[in-house]
Amino acid sequence: MLKVDNIDFSYRKTPVLAQISFGLEQGKHLAVMGESGSGKSTLLKAIYGLLDLVQGEITWNKKKVLGPSFNLIPGHENMKYVSQNFDLMPYTTVTENIGQFLSVYEQDTHQSRIDELLEVIEMTDYAKTKVKNLSGGQQQRVALARALAQEPELLLLDEPFSNIDQFKKNELRHRLFPYLKEKQITVITATHDPNDVLSFSDLVLVLKAGQKIALDQTLKLYHSPKEKYVASLFGKVNELPVKLLKNYTELDTKILVYPHEFELSSDNGIKAIVTRNFFKGGRFLIESQLLIGGPIWFYSKTEIREGAQVFLNVSLELIGKRLKDKKMLDDRDL
């Protein structure tokens, strides 16, 4: 089990992480989300043992993770960290890059292990290709396979699909994450892409300016976000006064509504004017403007003419749920 206990870290006296605490059980997948500069990469480096903490401690299976001041070669022996700098051997083949990290005492099983990993990253056809001749996305996949060579107990992934094209990215997610779950490898993925998170992670930790502002089960966090910043990491979201949705209420508060949670009506609801359409495949994301107020986003099965007036509704059930969630979260923070 990983335990991060009240850690702080600073670069040249500039705070980067502040009072971060959480635990992660073996075999679980934690996604770390946040805007650029929120501390995601720094947290992964701290967990791996690449940084000396200002305060607090990190333990893996009850053994303290020490920083570079205590280790000649920084980095925990039972973990693997895949950074955005791949650190591959450019003049050797894909097979040689992966095989370098396999045990010298088990050479008779090397090839079968390499073949298994090449299949996971969908690089079997490039086994004998030198790394310097691969694209950036292909090199990123080799870095992933190399990190998995010895089946680490904890795998730390920093934006693991950032250089990979969209088609291969989707395929790789559906191969890699179930593979890691099957092998009971604990995973922490730092990402800004909700597609890396929603279908695959068990938990989500949200960072903002180096501080933890949310930690919960993935589906629970998505359906009951603490604030707009958290919800916006998953895509467009609206923050609306309850009085706008229920004009007979006296509640002076706001709730979050995702675009897909609106229902279109022909003559009743919130009035808005369509300003732009964005084709999303099976539906359109519509940007519109409230008659009184700011922009509002919703989905439609069909394109809607710019300048058209629409009526939007949110179910009373959803409003009640969001208000209940908001009260529970507020009470928990007291």
DSSP secondary structure string, 161-218? TTTS-HHHHHHHHHHHHHHHHHTT-EEEEE-S-GGGTTTT-SEEEEEETTEEEEEEEH
Predicted confidence (pLDDT) per residue in 163-188, tens digit = 888 888 989 999 999 999 999 999 99
Predicted confidence (pLDDT) per residue in 128-158, tens digit = 999 999 999 999 999 999 999 888 999 999 9
Residue 332 has pLDDT above 50, yes or no: yes
Average of pLDDT values for 266-291? 94
What is the pLDDT, as a whole number, of residue 324? 86
If one compares 21 and 107, the residue with the highest pLDDT of the two is 21
Give phi and psi for 68, each to the nearest 5.
-65, -20
Average pLDDT value over all residues in the chain: 91
Reduced to 3 states, what is the DSSP secondary structure of residue 133? helix
**Cβ within 8 Å of residue 50, ≥6 positions away:** 67, 68, 74, 75, 81
Residue 104 has pLDDT above 90, yes or no: no
Q: How far apart are CA 223 and CA 242, in angstroms?
A: 17
Domain ranges of the chain: 2-231, 236-333
Instruction: Tell me which of 3.40.640.10, 2.40.50.140, 2.40.110.20, 1.10.3720.10 is the CATH number of domain 236-333.
Output: 2.40.50.140
Any idea of the CA torsion for 199, 230, 45, 134, to the nearest 10 degrees?
A: 50
What is the pLDDT, as a whole number, of residue 166? 83
What is the pLDDT, as a whole number, of residue 334? 37
Residue 327 has pLDDT above 80, yes or no: no
Q: How far apart are CA 115 and CA 187, in angstroms?
A: 22
Fold annotation for 2-231: Rossmann fold (3.40.50)
Taking each helix axis from N to C end, the angle separating 110-120 and 166-182, rounded to the nearest 10 degrees, works out to: 130
User: For the whole model, what pTM was predicted?
Assistant: 0.91
Is residue 311 within 8 A of residue 268, CB to CB? The reply is yes
10-15, Cβ contacts within 8 angstroms, sequence gap of 24 or more: 10/54, 15/210
